[in-house]
Homo-oligomer: A and B are copies of this chain.
Amino acid sequence: MTAGGSGDAAPKGRAVPPIKQAFGEQIAEGFHTIYDGELLHSERSAFQKIDVYEHPHFGRVLTLDDLIQTTEQDEFTYHEMLVHPALCGLERVERVLIIGGGDGGTLRHVLMHGPTNVVMCEIDDAVVRVCQEFLPSVAAGAFEDPRAHVVFADGAAFAAEHKDAFDAIIVDGSDAVGPATVLFSEAFYGSCRRALRNGGVFVSQTGSPMFQADEFLLAQRNLAPVFDVVEPYLGYVPTYPGGLWSYTAAGPGLSSVPPDVVRARLDARGITTRFYTPEVHRAAFALPAFVQELRAPVPQR
């Protein structure tokens, strides 16, 4: 080896290896998750930092402002439990509004229910572009479906412009920090109620009831004055903080939809699932005692 020689340099023409990089989240004080990944893409949009990693277990991973939003391996756990309980609660699904959901997974699952028209209102077009390039399996072609219409706009403003327009509104937004905070406000929930047809259903992801109790409670408190029936339910998303994840539905009572009705609707719509089942539908509304205790008393309307 000669000093200053090229012994350690990569041969000409060999691809530069991807950047190995750890990423992760703080879940509670002194409690973190760490992922070993390769950073494939990073950019700053007008709204947030967008990163994509390749991970040995979870496949492609999307983070927004360093918080994990979607992974190829576990997206089914989140999208099935966000979409199917609400839409299996409806006898017919015609018009659906999705707020957020830039990775297209929610859109894909909504389309399974046979709607005539789905509007997806996402604030950040860069998220859609990046996901289509790096995680195309999550939308799996949903954006090309002629029933799907994507609007790049503020979801709260968009909802406020519509009346009696949708059978379901599905909020697939970030946590209640930064630009997504408005999606946990009473004003937004009121707009959604007015934008729903009679008998329409609202559902939103509402954070970890164990590690983000404030976010969970904010949703319960601000939905209670707006909707007659507000029903939080639980699922499991391994890459979300703590794993145990809450969603909150409002409108018609979803918890009382019998398993045989759910089964009939899944079958009629030709939907196969990897997480959600008719029995999981009912079970999801059974809250552990500590989650029941978190819920604010519902004010008289």
Contacts and interface: CB of A to CB of B under 8 A. Distances in A.
Contacts of A279: 286-287
A77 B276 CA distance: 23
B286 A280 contact: yes
A140 interface: no
Interface residues of A, number: 40
A158 interface: no
Contacts of A57: 28-31
Contacts of A236: 236, 243-244, 288
Contacts of A30: 35-37, 55-57
Contacts of A243: 236, 238, 242-244
B35 A33 contact: no
A26 to B, nearest CB: 10
Interface in A187-203: none
Interface string A14-45: 00000000001000111111111100000000
Contacts of A287: 277, 279-280
A58 interface: yes
Nearest to A235: B288
A257 to B, nearest CB: 14
Contacts of A3: none
A273 to B, nearest CB: 5
Contact of A290 (B35, B211, B275): B275
Contacts of A289: 273-277, 280
A210 interface: yes
Contacts of A116: none
Contacts of A288: 77, 236, 274-277, 280
Nearest to A57: B28
Contacts of A31: 33-36, 55, 57-58
A292 interface: yes
A49 interface: no
A229 interface: no
A52 to B, nearest CB: 15
A263 interface: no
A286 B28 CA distance: 29
A295 B61 CA distance: 29
Contacts of A34: 24, 31-34
6 contacts: A210-B238, A277-B288, A279-B287, A282-B286, A283-B284, A283-B285
Q: Which 3 A-B pairs give the minimum distances between C-beta atoms? A: A243-B243, A283-B283, A283-B286
